[in-house]
Amino acid sequence: MYEDLLTQAASLAQLDPKKPKQANLRRAVSSAYYAVFHYLVHEACCVQIGTQHNQAAYRHVLGRAFSHTVMNQACRSFGGGTLKDAAIKGLPRNPAGNYVIPNEIQDIAKTFVELQEKRHLADYDLTERFRRSDVLALIQQVQSDVEQFATLAPSDDRRFFLACLWAWKELTTR
């Protein structure tokens, strides 16, 4: 799903290069957002269910439980580089006392937050004018962040981030 949505975004952004239609740029932004959304949901479901082909139905059902708002809140915190003490109580810290978030996680988290806002503008705010340069950059940014995240070796930090995408609200309000 992720690859197809990003390909769709790129195709739309490349139409009419001299005078791109706002409708195409807006749909490209929306597709790019859903590309990163579905990528993260898929990765999180793989951690919970498993990666085998015959487990796909379980992943797809679980994927329906993810909330755009909760994912945004989690990504806003992870992208900011620091998490509230209440959320990371008991987790390993560096000598300075900080829970270190890998750059691969920070980058894709920031991109998620940025894209969710731009998708909102693209779908609902007709006063916003989208520029092709920005849309092309977003698409490359998503592709690069996903490729970088995919190189992140399995680790507790990676699993924790992916779990926080669905558990963040409960984790931060207790």
Partner 1 sequence: MSADKNTLDAVDLKSLSLPPSLPVAEVRVEDYTDSSGEPALRILVVLEEDADVENLKGDSVRALKSAIHDSLRNHGVSAFPYIFLAKPSELADVDGEG
Q: What gap in Å lies between CA 158 and CA 162, rounded to an integer?
A: 6
Whole-number Cα distances in Å, 54 to 18, 63, 69, 96: 46, 16, 30, 45
* Minimum distance from residue 156 beta carbon to partner 1 (Å): 24
Given candidates 2, 10, 20, 105, which one binds partner 1 under the rule CB under 8 A? 20
Q: At what angle do helices 103-124 and 68-79 cross, to 10 degrees?
A: 140
Contact 41, 60 (CB under 8 A): no
Given candidates 133, 153, 154, 174, which one binds partner 1 under the rule CB under 8 A? 133
Q: Which of 153, 164, 142, 172 is nearest to 32 (CA)?
A: 142
Residue whose CB is less far from partner 1, 18 or 53: 18
- Find the binding residues for partner 1 in span 21-60 (CB under 8 A): 21-22
Residue whose CB is less far from partner 1, 85 or 134: 134
Q: Which of 48, 109, 44 is nearest to 76 (CA)?
A: 109
- Find the binding residues for partner 1 in span 68-107 (CB under 8 A): 69, 72, 76, 79-81, 107
HSE-up of residue 171 (Cα within 13 Å, Cβ side): 19
- Point out which span in 31-39, 50-58, 114-122, 156-164 binds partner 1 (CB under 8 A): 114-122
Binding site for partner 1 (CB under 8 A): 17, 19-22, 69, 72, 76, 79-81, 107, 110, 113-114, 117-118, 120-121, 129, 131-134, 136-138, 140-145, 147
